[in-house]
Amino acid sequence: MRSRNGNNSFTLAIFSLILFHSLALNAASEYLISYRYVIKDATLYNEQLTIAKSMKKCLGNPYDSIMLEADTNASLKKIISKNKEKFIDYIHQLGLNIQHSQKVLNSQSKSTIILTLKTTCFKVDFNDNFAKISPLK
Amino acid sequence: MKFSLLLLSLLSMSACAMGPNAAHKKEVAKIPPVKTETVDTPNETTVNVIYQEIKKEPLTKPAASKAPILKADKPVLISVVGQGVAPMNTTSPAQAYALAKRAATADAYRLIAEKVKGVNVDGQDLVKNMMVKRSTVRTSVQAMVKNANIVETTFKDGLCEVEMEITLSHSQFSH
């Protein structure tokens, strides 16, 4: 036969477990995102969007967030690929580094433009129908 | 007779006191700006002399360099049109449009960077036996642009044009 104290600790443990799981499901995660694309002679040559879960905690405060529609239990990669145009427009608004070089050799021109978003930590809040993505600074 | 002699001597003395160039200088002062005059020199040779009055002004730098471009109460709007073309190996017109738009956007960003930050230009010409063998011009720009807005996008005959605007305000650069 269990004592009252023992039962109390058991129920407390159960409740704390449920609470932890519910928090973990809706908890904010941090992701590292970088983006780079290359234009050669006015034609898109290469485009790279890299998304990875941060392995250590990022410092900074969130700003300029974006809401993307999301299915339940969908990963960030899937959410972004579903709303790619919207997300890339948003990345442009955040600011991209521009590198441009043009070489004119005997009146023949060759140009290269590289636009880069350096690896930035984003805080992502997953909810039932949407994900809130905001960079940390 | 005595009186006339005295008068003549007085005149000659005054002429000597003023010197040989005095008459000449007096004449210069009378001549209006930009005028050709014939002057008899003491050696009795006639030369054409051009006189021009030049007003000297203190040397100052152009006003544009002194005045600040960005004023606190007046934001500056920069508008550019970027161009891009679709690659040859696209699977659909929609893909061609999307890729061309991406290229045009990057071009518009580059134009904004060039306008705001300026362009580095480096040129090199190789001349051999008095002939240009190789002429090279390299331009480059490096910048960070944010908060630029796409105003209009047009796609015609495989060419995509993106009109982009950015507003620069004094407060963005003051801190």
Mean pLDDT calculated for residue range B86-97: 91
Given CB atoms, is B116 within the 8 Å cutoff of chain A?
A: no
Q: Which two tokens stand for residue A32?
A: 């590292």
What integer pLDDT is reported at residue B113 of this predicted model? Answer: 96
Q: Mean of the per-residue pLDDT values for chain A?
A: 85
Strand partners, B142: A99
Å from A99 to nearest chain B CA?
5
The pLDDT score that the predictor gives to residue B83 is 95
Whether A96 sits inside 8 A of B107 (CB atoms) is no
Q: What is the ipTM of this complex?
A: 0.78
B99, B107, B146: residue with CB nearest A93: B146
Partners of A47 in beta bridges: A37
Residue type, B159: L
Task: Please state, in angstroms and rounded to a whole number, the distance separating the CA atoms of residues B173 and A83.
Answer: 33
Q: How many angstroms separate the CA atoms of A10 and A17, rounded? A: 11
Residue B82 has pLDDT above 70, yes or no: yes
Confidence (pLDDT) at B23: 45
pLDDT tens, chain A, 137 aa long:
555 555 666 565 655 655 554 444 445 699 999 999 999 999 999 999 999 999 999 999 999 999 999 887 788 999 999 999 999 999 999 999 999 999 999 999 999 999 999 999 999 998 888 899 999 98
Tell me if B87 and A43 make a contact (CB, 8 A cut-off).
yes
* Mean pLDDT along residues B139-148: 95
> Is pLDDT larger for residue B171 or for residue B43?
B171
Confidence of residue B51 (pLDDT cuts 50, 70, 90): low
Task: Check: CB of residue A66 under 8 Å from CB of residue A90.
Answer: yes
Residue A108 forms contact with B (CB below 8 Å): no
Q: What angle do CA A6, A11, A12 make, to 5 degrees?
A: 95
Q: Quick check: B39 and B126 in contact, CB under 8 A?
A: no
User: Residues A105, B136: contact at Cβ < 8 Å?
Assistant: yes
Q: pLDDT band at residue B72, thresholds of 50, 70 and 90?
A: confident
Helix axes of A84-94 and B93-117: crossing angle, nearest 10 degrees: 0
- Token digits for B143? 């910048």
The partner residue sitting opposite A98, judged by closest CB among B98, B103, B142, is: B142
Look at B72 and B163; give whichever has higher pLDDT. B163
For residue B60, pLDDT beyond 50 = yes
Give the span between the Cα atoms of B3 and B12, in whole angstroms. 14
Distance from CA of A74 to the nearest CA of B (A): 25
The CA-based angle B148-B154-B158, given to 5 degrees, is: 120
Using the predicted structure, report yes or no on whether residue B55 has a pLDDT greater than 80: no
Residue B130 has pLDDT above 90, yes or no: yes
Domain boundaries, chain A: 28-135
Q: Which among B102, B135, B148 is the nearest to A106, CB-wise?
A: B135
* pTM across the whole model: 0.69
3-state secondary structure of B20: coil
Q: What is the pLDDT of residue A129?
A: 86
Kindly state the tokens that stand for A28: 């904010």
CB-count burial class (<10 Å; 0-12, 13-18, 19+) for B24: middle
pLDDT at A127 (0 to 100): 85
